[in-house]
Amino acid sequence: MNTTTTTERPRKGGVVLTDRLCEKRVTKRVKIYDRKCPGLYVSIIPPAVATFNFKFTDPATGKQRSKWLGVYNSKTFTVEHARTEVYALRTRIGNGENIADTLRQQKARQAKQGKTVAEIIEERIEWMKFLVRKPDGEMRPRLESWENTASHLRRFIGPKLGKKFAGDVTRGDIQALSDDIVAGRHGGKPSVSNARHMRKAASGMFRWALRREYITANPSSDLEPLDPEHPRTRVLTEDEIRIFWHGLDHNDLPWDRRTRLALKFELVTMLRSGELLGARRDELFDLDGDNPRFDVPLKRVKKRRVIQQPLSTLAIEIIKEALAREDQQFVFESPVYPGQPLNRKAMADALRGTMNEKCKGKTKTPGLCDLLGLKRFTPHDLRRTAATLAGDLGFDDAWIAKCLDHAVTKKGDTIVPTVTGKVYNHSKRMKEKRAVLDGIAAELRRIIAGPVTQAETGLRLVA
């Protein structure tokens, strides 16, 4: 196509733009200015495609600007339609409106709303992981759980909706994606939990995009409620606790000693994996005194509040064995990366095993549950087991909740106002917590001191 442009500007008795002129065939680009409506011109390119434009002077810069009006169509957009738009624009200019600035804003808005879902996903992730100063003075990601949210955005939303313009995503698209995940049509196992994670990630991202005018409505609102998820109830029996505890002491297991000690520590202290795995020597106090404790900094705590957890004699034994060197800073130091704590997934991987990435479905390293012949469980189930032991020993639910770092809303038959727990009651209830944890330690010592069967002695190791 010849891109040379010929311009026909109006002169005395010059060109009056007509529909017929817009339909003429040209061999190169032609611009024809309308004498009847100053500023209006049509640009015609082969093969007979005509577009209307309005040329005007930007009062802010003194430079000439052009506004695209539309493509000529003999039925829907003719010369008279174009003139009407130009007259309206000239009126707005006459009333003092800076239409050049308006055009710039419209162009910027169109650029924003022309973003794809994949582009917005990556922008959202960059925003989440941006370092900001936290209440304790440290610089950490704006959303500290950003990696999980990023995984949900990239795994669930990106593959299905990534190529769509964000403004074109509808509530039906999110609902269909949710239904696919629940039914297992998204490349994985059927999972209500994954659908819930996807919805939460999508809702946060689209609310964020709405505030930045990338979209005009949140498509993840008012979705059909998901079916309720059944809470996990796995609790180890006394026989299972005995097998588990003694089994972890065998040296022929494929998992390092500190990982196994960390599993014992979770059962004894009722702490979450993320809270205990980063334990440092300088977070331990009075280990040889009357009130030993472990202070977990708020950056590792789910509710972002400092936990002061009393330590039983059983917990102290585990700590002293794990701290094998005088210069060791992390209690549960990584065997792969000296000077660093165990990976946050180390305990879960040790229990369930790791899969061979090259041969899907095949185990690379068997998990402790399979090696010990135990029904599978997770590190979190150890917390539940400890809480159950405490309940069976007769401890108050409010005391147990404190050890678990759960919000206490009910003590006996008395409802405790939420504001009391959040604002006024900052007591750590160390005496109650110490009583519970010492009681659990005593009960565990009783259980593991019980008779071990021949089958248990053999560890039930899988060949």
Q: Which domains does the chain have, with CATH numbers?
A: 2-112 (3.30.160.390), 117-211 (no CATH), 238-457 (1.10.443.10)
Residue 441, Cβ neighbours under 10 Å: how many? 22
First to last CA, the chain: 74
Cβ–Cβ < 8 Å for 277, 342: yes
Q: How far apart are CA 190 and CA 204, in angstroms?
A: 23
List own/partner pairs for 213-219 with CB under 8 A and 24 or more apart: 213/109, 213/112, 213/113, 214/112, 214/113, 214/115, 214/120, 214/166, 214/167, 215/113, 215/166, 215/167, 215/169, 216/113, 216/167, 219/169, 219/170, 219/171, 219/173, 219/174
Q: Please name the residue ranges forming H helices in 323-393.
A: 346-352, 368-371, 379-392
- Dihedral pair phi/psi, residue 462, rounded to 5°: -80, 130
Element (H, E) at 354: strand 353-355
Q: Please name the residue ranges forming H helices in 238-378.
A: 238-247, 257-269, 273-276, 313-322, 346-352, 368-371
- Dihedral pair phi/psi, residue 123, rounded to 5°: -65, -40
Residues 6+ apart with CB under 8 A from 80: none
Q: How far apart are CA 404 and CA 398, in angstroms?
A: 10
User: Which is nearest to 274 in space by CA: 325, 346, 195, 173?
Assistant: 346
- Dihedral pair phi/psi, residue 43, rounded to 5°: -110, 120
Q: Look at residue 422 in the predicted model and tell me its pLDDT.
A: 42
Q: Look at residue 379 in the predicted model and tell me its pLDDT.
A: 95
Q: How far apart are CA 83 and CA 89, in angstroms?
A: 10
Q: Look at residue 462 in the predicted model and tell me its pLDDT.
A: 44
Q: How far apart are CA 29 and CA 31, in angstroms?
A: 7
Q: Look at residue 208 in the predicted model and tell me its pLDDT.
A: 95
Low-confidence ranges of the chain (pLDDT < 50): 1-2, 10-13, 411-427, 454-455, 457-458, 460-463
Cβ–Cβ < 8 Å for 117, 58: no
Q: Is 451 exposed, middle or buried (0-12, 13-18, 19+ CB in 10 A)?
A: exposed
